[in-house]
Amino acid sequence: MTDPAPDPAPLRVLLVDADERTRESLAGLLAIGRRCVVVGSAGHPLEALDLLVEFSPDVVVIDPRLPEVDGGRAFITRVRQLSPSTRILVLGWSSTIEQDCMEDGADAFVRKTFRPRELVDAVVAASLGRLD
pLDDT average per 10 residues of sequence, the chain (132 residues): 68 95 94 91 94 97 78 82 93 72 80 85 85 48
CATH 3.40.50.2300 fits 11-127, yes or no: yes
pLDDT value of position 70:
61
Residue 132: the pLDDT is: 43
pLDDT of residue 24: 96
Write the DSSP assignment of the chain as a string of letters: -PPPPPPPPPEEEEEE-S-HHHHHHHHHHHTGGGSEEEEEEESSHHHHHHHHHHH--SEEEE-S--TTSSTTHHHHHHHHHH-TT-EEEEEES-HHHHHHHHHTT-SEEEETT--HHHHHHHHHHHHTT---
**Can you give the pLDDT at residue 131?**
52
